């Protein structure tokens, strides 16, 4: 059975498929967890299948990359270039919290149309609403662990989800919220309720803990256990991430932040705005600070001067014009700023001190959004075909994960 979505062709295998997007899973997390013996099932996948690095979409944010993964295309095509954008017509900051902002269909609905039992389970409710449209109408299941208690047959494709899964609703700001996603997927696969699964977790734990923290090693052990259940249920499992994660602190443990709007207004006046497209209702773990912001200028004539001023700043690694960002970062022209600004491995960019509540950050800041969180792991439970091997030897992307999963 073959389906075509956004000009890409997917041949659906007879066996069940589970694609996992482990939010914020920098490759180091897997290396350390495997080294410490915490992920024996994933280690076996890497041994018997394939493990390599794939390139994510920029900005290296959750919505952007989940949108790419479920559509199989770049943000230039699907249009989700962050959680927020500045509407060029209204001048308002708009949160892209619904499917109307997405500019193309998803693999999930196309596969459901082809008769497969699709399940899309997320940790955060926002991802369900942004990417889950059309699946339930086609007989699939879509819910978030955050609001699993609200799941109903008519709206989510499932009644009594918590009973089926065998666990009550987890707290959203927890590792449990992510474990729950994989365990729910495993329950659905085990019970034959789904055979084409997309399971997308939250990076609460990764924002909080580096790879060696006992808490995250325990977290990964539980993730591995759930992966094992998916494998035992006969699934081909493909695991990737939406973005990596890096510590963003100085040697004293204080966040290294460049407040771009403040910086620019001091020099160029108030006729400019900075949008932090990482901002969303779930900011407790990162204070809305990431490694990419958009700069909007009322007066386009100062653009080159602003760009040069910003790029000269220590910690700023790239400043692209809108036109350059469309080509180099594969972004949609009307969803980005006049300038797109990226910061270094250990640096974040923000708007102004007032805009960010740093007091929510306990134990330092870990975040993402820039070039240094672009490369992520891909682990597949089966070896690559020669054709996929050639693909992997080019510039494979994290949003090729369904392609890999379908064709191994």
Q: How many CB atoms lie within 10 A of CB 352?
A: 13
Query: Residues 371, 382, 403, 407: which binds a second copy (CB under 8 A)?
Result: 371
Sign of the dihedral through C-alpha 101, 146, 202, 114: negative
Tokens at 325, concatenated = 């960002």
355 binds a second copy (CB under 8 A): no
Query: Residues 32, 80, 340, 342: which binds a second copy (CB under 8 A)?
Result: 32
Closest CB to a second copy among residues 36, 147? 36
Residue 367 CA from chain centroid, whole number: 12
255 binds a second copy (CB under 8 A): no
Q: Which residues contact 17 (CB under 8 A, 6 or more apart)?
A: 195, 196, 197, 235, 236, 238, 402, 405, 406
Q: Which of residues 188-217 bind a second copy (CB under 8 A)?
A: 210-212
Tokens 């927020």 label which residue?
84
Q: Which of these segments, 81-89, 107-115, 138-146, 371-379, binds a second copy (CB under 8 A)?
A: 371-379
Binding mask 292-311 for a second copy (x = CB under 8 A): -------------------x
Binding mask 154-193 for a second copy (x = CB under 8 A): ----------------------------------------
321: three-class secondary structure by DSSP: strand
Tokens at 213, concatenated = 């923290």
Closest CB to a second copy among residues 83, 249? 249
314 binds a second copy (CB under 8 A): yes
Query: Residues 2, 7, 14, 47: which binds a second copy (CB under 8 A)?
Result: 47
Query: Residues 324, 330, 334, 355: which binds a second copy (CB under 8 A)?
Result: 324
Tokens at 183, concatenated = 């365990």
28 binds a second copy (CB under 8 A): yes
46 binds a second copy (CB under 8 A): yes
312 binds a second copy (CB under 8 A): yes
- Burial call 328-346: b when 16+ CB within 10 Å, e when fewer: ebbbbeebbbbbbbbbbeb
Tokens at 82, concatenated = 């962050």
Closest CB to a second copy among residues 166, 386? 386
Q: How many CB atoms lie within 10 A of CB 323?
A: 10
Q: What is the spatial distance between Cα 333 and Cα 330, in angstroms, rounded to a whole number?
A: 9
Query: Residues 9, 15, 53, 353: which binds a second copy (CB under 8 A)?
Result: 53
Tokens at 166, concatenated = 């065998």
Q: How far is CA 389 from CA 53, 71, 237, 320, 383, in A?
A: 13, 22, 17, 33, 9
Q: What is the spatial distance between Cα 261 and Cα 54, in angstroms, rounded to a whole number?
A: 33
51 binds a second copy (CB under 8 A): yes
* Count of residues that interact with a second copy, criterion CB under 8 A: 46
Query: Residues 1, 15, 35, 352: which binds a second copy (CB under 8 A)?
Result: 35
- Cβ of residue 359: shortest distance to a second copy, in angstroms? 20
337 binds a second copy (CB under 8 A): no
247 binds a second copy (CB under 8 A): yes
Which segments of 114-158 does DSSP mark as H helices, in order? 125-131, 153-156
Q: Which residues contact 157 (CB under 8 A, 6 or more apart)?
A: 119, 135, 136, 139, 140, 141, 142, 143
Query: Residues 8, 55, 103, 265: which binds a second copy (CB under 8 A)?
Result: 55
Query: Residues 19, 23, 50, 59: which binds a second copy (CB under 8 A)?
Result: 50
Q: How far is CA 15 from CA 71, 197, 234, 382, in A?
A: 21, 12, 7, 12
Q: Which of these segments, 39-47, 104-112, 130-138, 151-159, binds a second copy (CB under 8 A)?
A: 39-47
113 binds a second copy (CB under 8 A): no
Q: Which residues bind a second copy (CB under 8 A)?
A: 27-28, 30-32, 34-37, 43, 46-47, 50-53, 55, 210-212, 247, 249-251, 253, 311-312, 314, 317-318, 324, 327-328, 344-346, 364, 371-372, 375, 389-391, 393-395
């Amino acid at each position: 059975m073959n389906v075509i979505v956004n000009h890409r062709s997917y041949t659906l295998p007879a066996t069940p498929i589970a694609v996992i997007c482990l939010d914020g899973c920098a490759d180091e997390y897997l290396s350390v967890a495997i080294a410490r013996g915490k992920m024996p099932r994933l280690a076996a996948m890497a041994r018997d299948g394939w493990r390599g690095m794939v390139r994510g979409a920029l900005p290296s944010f959750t919505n952007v990359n989940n949108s790419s993964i479920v559509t199989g295309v770049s943000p230039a095509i699907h249009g989700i270039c962050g959680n927020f954008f500045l509407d060029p017509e209204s001048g308002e900051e708009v949160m892209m919290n619904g499917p109307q902002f997405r500019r193309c269909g998803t693999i999930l609905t196309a596969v459901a149309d082809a008769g497969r039992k699709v399940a899309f389970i997320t940790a955060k409710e926002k991802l369900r609403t942004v990417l889950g449209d059309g699946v339930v109408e086609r007989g699939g299941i879509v819910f978030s662990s955050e609001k699993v208690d609200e799941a109903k047959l008519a709206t989510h494709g499932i009644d009594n989800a918590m009973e089926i899964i065998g666990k009550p609703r987890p707290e959203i700001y927890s590792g449990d919220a992510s474990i729950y996603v994989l365990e729910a997927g495993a329950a659905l696969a085990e019970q034959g309720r789904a055979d084409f699964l997309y399971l997308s977790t939250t990076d609460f734990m990764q924002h909080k803990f580096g790879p060696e923290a006992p808490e995250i090693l325990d977290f990964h052990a539980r993730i591995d256990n759930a992966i094992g259940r998916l494998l035992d249920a006969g699934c081909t499992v493909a695991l990737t991430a939406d973005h990596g994660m890096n510590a963003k602190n100085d040697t004293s443990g204080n966040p290294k932040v460049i407040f771009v709007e403040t910086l620019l207004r001091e020099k160029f006046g108030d006729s400019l705005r900075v949008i932090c497209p990482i901002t969303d209702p779930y900011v407790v773990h990162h204070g809305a600070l990431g490694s990419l912001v958009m700069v909007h200028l009322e007066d386009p004539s100062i653009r080159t001067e602003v760009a040069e001023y910003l790029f000269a700043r220590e910690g700023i690694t790239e400043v692209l014009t809108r036109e350059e960002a469309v080509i180099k970062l594969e972004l949609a022209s009307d969803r980005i700023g006049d300038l797109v600004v990226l910061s270094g491995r250990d640096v974040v960019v923000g708007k102004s001190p007032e805009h960010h509540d740093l007091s929510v950050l306990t134990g330092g800041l870990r975040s993402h959004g820039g070039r240094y969180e672009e490369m992520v792991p891909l682990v597949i439970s089966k070896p690559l075909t020669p054709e996929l091997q050639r693909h992997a030897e080019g510039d494979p992307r994290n949003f090729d994960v369904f392609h890999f999963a379908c064709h191994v």
